[in-house]
Amino acid sequence: MAQIFPKWANWIPLIVLGGGGALALTALALLYYYGSPQNTQVGYRPPQPVHYSHRLHPGNLGLDCRYCHNQVESSRFANLPSVQTCMNCHKLILRESELLKPVRDAWENGQPIQWIRVHDLPDYAYFDHAAHLRGGVGCVTCHGEVVLMDTTIQIAPLSMGWCLDCHRNPEPNLRPTDQVVNMYWQPPENQHEWAADFRRKQNINPPTDCSGCHR
Ligand code: HEC
Ligand code: HEC
Ligand code: HEC
Ligand code: HEC
Ligand code: HEC
């Protein structure tokens, strides 16, 4: 469930009761207005119907992100894997595991697993994975060190300010396109020159006008 009010909103009745008055309320309204779009979802980590772990699969086993999210380079959306993808291995590996029972059941019934969405932009904001990967932005920049996560968690605010900070100055976040799934790529010493050159050659111009993201 998305949190509708930030935690500190619990204090509102107390402040009102305490006779803080109009001034405090105005301050609160301002705080809400400037504070809310930035960080309400950071740290969101819903429990999932199966204890699938990125730390184990792409982490310890070294599976490529694109083995499961195989449309991420060609589509706006990063797809989740089908049950069949899990069963490629789990038909043989840990066939008796209790933790994998919901996966086997889904497979036998021909039902998808009902994963809970972690990241979710409002519909009025347009986002495209394929365009970002072509532009040389890595998964780790927006999703953090997914290979260390037992339960997937949102690490970036996904707010308009967050998008624009990078769009106005993308150079520090650019990397060679063959490194976009590498969680441990380090920028070279000449990152700035490299990125400026890459940007020019690839003609990379992230939109900063309203219609770029609100189509
Ligand atoms: C073995 C398959 C598999 C591999 C490999 C894999 N993932 Fe996932 N990923 C999943 C599944 C299943 C989910 C849905 C459950 C969850 O959110 O943990 C998911 C969810 C996610 C989400 C959250 C989606 C949402 O709901 O917002 C992100 C981000 C993500 N993966 C990134 C990555 C990255 C980055 C890599 C490579 C380092 C990777 N994944 C490798 C199977 C995989
Ligand atoms: C490339 C092979 C492979 C794929 C694909 C794969 N797994 Fe796994 N999975 C493994 C291995 C190997 C283990 C760990 C076995 C061990 O503990 O030694 C494991 C362990 C697990 C466990 C822990 C089970 C337990 O009893 O400890 C769960 C849950 C799980 N996987 C879910 C999934 C889901 C869901 C998918 C599809 C999104 C998936 N796996 C795809 C190979 C795979
Ligand atoms: C520039 C930032 C950025 C990069 C780079 C990025 N993502 Fe995402 N990702 C997002 C945002 C924003 C969302 C939420 C999109 C929405 O709600 O429409 C998202 C959502 C997802 C989802 C949930 C399904 C979806 O498409 O909404 C998965 C899975 C995912 N990302 C995996 C990945 C993987 C794997 C990579 C690297 C190959 C990656 N992402 C790179 C920002 C990014
Ligand atoms: C870390 C840097 C970074 C972040 C964060 C980021 N972007 Fe981008 N964005 C880029 C780059 C680089 C491009 C590629 C521009 C190009 O190729 O000309 C791009 C391109 C785009 C495009 C144009 C796609 C197309 O089809 O032309 C849209 C729309 C967009 N971003 C929306 C968003 C939104 C919405 C967010 C926040 C949820 C976001 N971006 C976050 C770096 C970023
Ligand atoms: C780089 C992408 C990007 C650009 C450019 C952009 N926006 Fe946004 N905008 C977003 C995203 C993403 C959200 C959703 C933020 C959230 O969920 O907190 C958003 C949210 C909004 C909202 C809702 C505000 C709120 O507090 O919930 C308004 C209004 C808005 N944008 C107007 C604009 C206007 C006007 C412009 C041009 C000056 C603009 N946007 C340019 C990405 C963008």
Please tell me whether residues 106 and 168 are part of one structural domain: no
pLDDT at 157: 96
In a domain? residue 2: no
This prediction has a pTM of 0.91
Q: Which amino acid residue places its CA nearest to atom 31 of ligand 2?
A: 52
Report how far ligand 5's centroid is from the alpha carbon of 3 (Å): 19
Q: Closest ligand to 115 CA?
A: 1
The model's pLDDT over 118-152, given as tens digits with 9 standing for 90+, comes to: 999 999 999 999 999 999 999 999 999 999 999 99
Residue 33 sits in which domain range? 7-39
Calpha distance 95→123 (Å, rounded): 40
Buried b (16+ CB within 10 A) or exposed e, 163-187: beebeeebbebbbeeeebbebeeee
Does residue 28 sit in helix, strand or coil?
helix
Q: Which amino acid residue places its CA nearest to atom 29 of ligand 4?
A: 213
In a domain? residue 99: yes
pLDDT at 40: 64
Q: Is the pLDDT of residue 73 over 60?
A: yes
Would you place residue 39 in the very low, low, confident or very high pLDDT band (cuts 50, 70, 90)?
low
Report how far ligand 4's centroid is from the alpha carbon of 149 (Å): 25
Give the position, in ligand 2's atom list, of the atom nearest the Cα of 63: 1
Q: Is the pLDDT of residue 46 over 90?
A: yes
Please tell me whether residues 106 and 132 are part of one structural domain: no
Please tell me whether residues 86 and 173 are part of one structural domain: no
Q: Looking at residues 84-110, what average pLDDT do you find?
A: 97
In a domain? residue 196: yes
Please tell me whether residues 98 and 128 are part of one structural domain: no
Report how far ligand 4's centroid is from the alpha carbon of 95 (Å): 42
Please tell me whether residues 97 and 125 are part of one structural domain: no
The model's pLDDT over 156-194, given as tens digits with 9 standing for 90+, comes to: 999 999 999 999 999 999 999 999 999 999 999 999 999
Q: Which amino acid residue places its CA nearest to atom 36 of ligand 2?
A: 86
Q: Which amino acid residue places its CA nearest to atom 36 of ligand 1?
A: 65
Q: Is the pLDDT of residue 92 over 50?
A: yes
Please tell me whether residues 207 and 155 are part of one structural domain: yes
In a domain? residue 50: no
Please tell me whether residues 74 and 177 are part of one structural domain: yes
Would you place residue 8 in the very low, low, confident or very high pLDDT band (cuts 50, 70, 90)?
very low
* 166 Cβ below 6 A of ligand 5: no
Q: What is the 3-state secondary structure (H, E, C) of 100-159?
A: CHHHHHHHHHCCCCCCCCCCCCCCCCCCCHHHHHHCCCCHHHHHCCHHHCCCCCCCCCCC
User: How many folded domains does the chain comprise?
Assistant: 3
In a domain? residue 1: no
What is the residue-averaged pLDDT of the chain? 88
Higher pLDDT, 50 or 2: 50
The model's pLDDT over 197-210, given as tens digits with 9 standing for 90+, comes to: 999 999 999 999 99
pLDDT at 54: 98
* 126 Cβ below 6 A of ligand 4: yes
Give the position, in ligand 1's atom list, of the atom nearest the Cα of 67: 5
